[in-house]
Structure 1
Amino acid sequence: MNRGRRVHAAITVVCALTVLASPVQAAYAAPTPPPSAPGAPAAPRKSLEEVRKEIETLYRQAASATDAYNLAEERATKQSAEIVRLAQAIVDGQARIEDLKKRAGAAARAQYRNGGIPDEAKLVLTDDPQLFLDGAGRLRQGQKATTDLLGELTRTQTDLETYTEDASKQWTLLEANRVKQADAKKDINAKITAAEKLESQLEAEERERLLKLEQQEQYDAQTAWLSSGALKEINRSASPQGRKAIEFASAQLGKPYVWGAEGPDSYDCSGLTSQAWSAAGRGIPRTSQEQWRLLPRIEIKDMRPGDLIIYHADASHVGMYIGDGAIIHAPRPGRNVTMAGAGSMVILGVVRPDK
């Protein structure tokens, strides 16, 4: 049995044992809500499954907000770099204009020293043919130099105005993305806090059963995906860069999920995949949504290890396919980087960083 088959078999066995060890869930419910006002009907208790779905929804919403935060941060970083570049261009342009003005002033002073008599007049006054021809040549050269000087001065001033206008636009965009970052951060913290609060109100035994429910759903989804014949045509080997990306991702197993993190001690889902491919020598977009939007898409049947599987309709999650129906991914807050079934979540599509 090759390594990939062992990985697939291990995941299947672990999932199966988890499911077999899980007793019936319906008897467990969420903590009793605060008492209602006197005379008001008591609020119905939520089942543990309902609590699980509510927690999952909150974490999904936090994942979407995390992608928005990461994208705003990435854009803000690029805009900051562009502002620095434009600022240097403005400084260089101002220095160039000062130099051109000095040269124009020197030409004007030279004419003044000649008594203010234009070169054209001097040519008319001479009766030496050779001197006239030499002077005419110098005049044309001087006129061209003056025209070039004035043209360059005009172009430099225009460029300077453009740089200044572009810098102003970049500042506006930078501030807008900083606002988006702040809003996304508030949203993320609110969703994660709400999910953690729900989970913390459960008894220890219920939290354990909550995890079993989560694993059960993943197992059912993976089983259905495999039963569909999804792996029948997937038998390709990883590219050299893909193998390096998998090696990096594998080395991160067990490290915690932290939103916005891209290593080395913790990761969010796209932080893991982007850093893995960066370690393989291929830079890719930072967020799962941008990875889905910008990287080449391939059919699931053509998938090979190292490819990225994008999940959910909003492309809010990503994992790295490692072969034989398995992925490595950073699941959510409260979980660590782990292996899972590639079909354990709703697949949106597959992208290939090194296509």
Structure 2
Amino acid sequence: MPSLRNLLRTMALAGMSAALIAPTAVAHAEPSPADLTRQIETSSAELERVVESYNKLTEEIRTNKAAAARLQARIGPLEQQVEQSRADVAELATTAYKNGGLRTADAFLRPGGSAALLDRLSTIDQLTRKRQESISGFTANQRRLIDEKSRLDATLARQAAQARQLAAGKRQIESDLAELYELRRQAYGAATERPAPKPAAVEAANVPAVAGDAGTAVRYAFGAVGKPYVWAADGPNGYDCSGLTSAAWRAAGRSLPHNVRMQWGVVAHIGRSELRPGDLIFYSGLGHVALYVGDGQVIDAPSAGRNVLKRGMNMMSIQGYGRVR
């Protein structure tokens, strides 16, 4: 027995020693809801920058395509004019030869002889030169337009390649967001915000009485409250930030590009004290835009996973203020 007790005592001491010297397992705390929210906001802000770059390229491509179409519309008739002038010259020469007495023997036997032939040749030469000058002018203009269109085509090809690169970047960010949304689902029970019942109808009672085009834009924005953020969208079922402001002012008959920086470039810049409903407020180094609706409030499409809402205008760093011309 004593020997068994000694063995058990030895084993117990060995077990205690092993427990003391064994490495302690590190406990990893699950991210808190606040941590998850910060991660989602960071990724959403990154996605918004990519989306706005994509929007800018889309606007530029649309503008260049329209310019190329206008050039092509001018080139087509010009080509017809060139071909017609060439045909006229050929017909003039043929007619002069057949009916104008330009055959050498005929010409010498007719009254006036060689002198009359020289006069007719001189007239034909002058007409031909005028036609050739017209052809040269048409050809020069045609060449200039074709060169310009070639430059536009090269620009469009380059921008299309850039758009594909941006789309690839967007897919990567959306993949990252999908993982964060899964964490958010675990933390909050939903990956995206659930809109309140009939939010636009509820907000309709709060629409300020604003006259003119600005009033139309403000009413449109109130009608969008509760609709989801959708990247590169400008309604009617979803919006990104610049898509909402461009759609609101489009309803008022004004054209705004679907890009924050481009919108900043076309509005009249005003001071904070001059703000009135319908004006635009630009944020975060021109990374976000919202529509001012009065009383210190804006309506905007915040970020991926959220819905259009009305909130205080000071929700982030303000870059400047703009009025649609």
Q: TM-score range by the shorter chain?
A: 0.7 to 0.9
Partner of 1:264: 236
Superposition pairs of residues 77-88 of structure 1, within 5 angstroms: 77-88=62-73
**How far is 1:296 from its partner?**
1.6
**Between Structure 1 and Structure 2, how many residues are aligned?**
278
Kindly, what percent of the aligned residue pairs are identical?
27
Letter in 2 for 1:244: T
Of structures 1 and 2, the one with the larger relative CO (CA 8 A, separation 6+) is: 1
Partner SS, residue 345 of structure 1: coil
**How far is 1:244 from its partner?**
0.9
- Any unmatched runs of 5+ in structure 1? 1-37, 127-134, 212-236
Partner SS, residue 181 of structure 1: helix
After superposing the two structures, state which structure 1 stretch, 245-254 or 185-194, moved more.
Answer: 185-194
User: Residue 303 and residue 44 in structure 1: after superposition, are their counterparts in 2 closer, same or farther (change >3 A)?
Assistant: same
Partner of 1:72: 57
Partner of 2:172: 190
Counterpart check, 1:152 vs 2:134: yes
**How far is 1:46 from its partner?**
4.9
User: Residue 109 and residue 203 in structure 1: after superposition, are their counterparts in 2 closer, same or farther (change >3 A)?
Assistant: closer
Letter in 2 for 1:344: M
8 Å Cα contact 1:311-1:318 kept in structure 2 = yes
Match of 1:346 among 310, 317, 321: 317
Superposition pairs of residues 78-117 of structure 1, within 5 angstroms: 78-113=63-98, 114-115=101-102
Counterpart check, 1:55 vs 2:40: yes
8 Å Cα contact 1:242-1:280 kept in structure 2 = yes
Partner of 2:155: 173
Cα-to-partner distance string for 1:198-237 (whole Å, 9 max, x where unaligned) = 23224645568x99xxxxxxxxxxxxxxxxxxxxxxxxx9
**How far is 1:190 from its partner?**
1.9
* Pair member with larger Rg: 2
- Any unmatched runs of 5+ in structure 2? 1-22, 194-208
Question: RMSD of the alignment, in Å?
Answer: 3.1
Distance in 2 (CA, whole Å) between partners of 1:57 and 1:144 is 76
**How far is 1:289 from its partner?**
1.3
> TM-score of the superposition, structure 2-length normalised?
0.75
Distance in 2 (CA, whole Å) between partners of 1:180 and 1:297 is 30
Partner of 1:220: none
Letter in 1 for 2:58: E
User: Residue 124 and residue 58 in structure 1: after superposition, are their counterparts in 2 closer, same or farther (change >3 A)?
Assistant: same
Cα-to-partner distance string for 1:140-171 (whole Å, 9 max, x where unaligned) = 7x666444322221111112222222222222
User: Residue 203 and residue 329 in structure 1: after superposition, are their counterparts in 2 closer, same or farther (change >3 A)?
Assistant: closer
After superposing the two structures, state which structure 1 stretch, 337-346 or 196-205, moved more.
Answer: 196-205
> TM-score of the superposition, structure 1-length normalised?
0.69
**How far is 1:43 from its partner?**
6.6
**How far is 1:320 from its partner?**
0.2
Distance in 1 (CA, whole Å) between partners of 2:84 and 2:57 is 40
Partner SS, residue 277 of structure 1: helix
Distance in 2 (CA, whole Å) between partners of 1:329 and 1:90 is 44
Distance in 2 (CA, whole Å) between partners of 1:350 and 1:152 is 54
User: Residue 258 and residue 123 in structure 1: after superposition, are their counterparts in 2 closer, same or farther (change >3 A)?
Assistant: farther
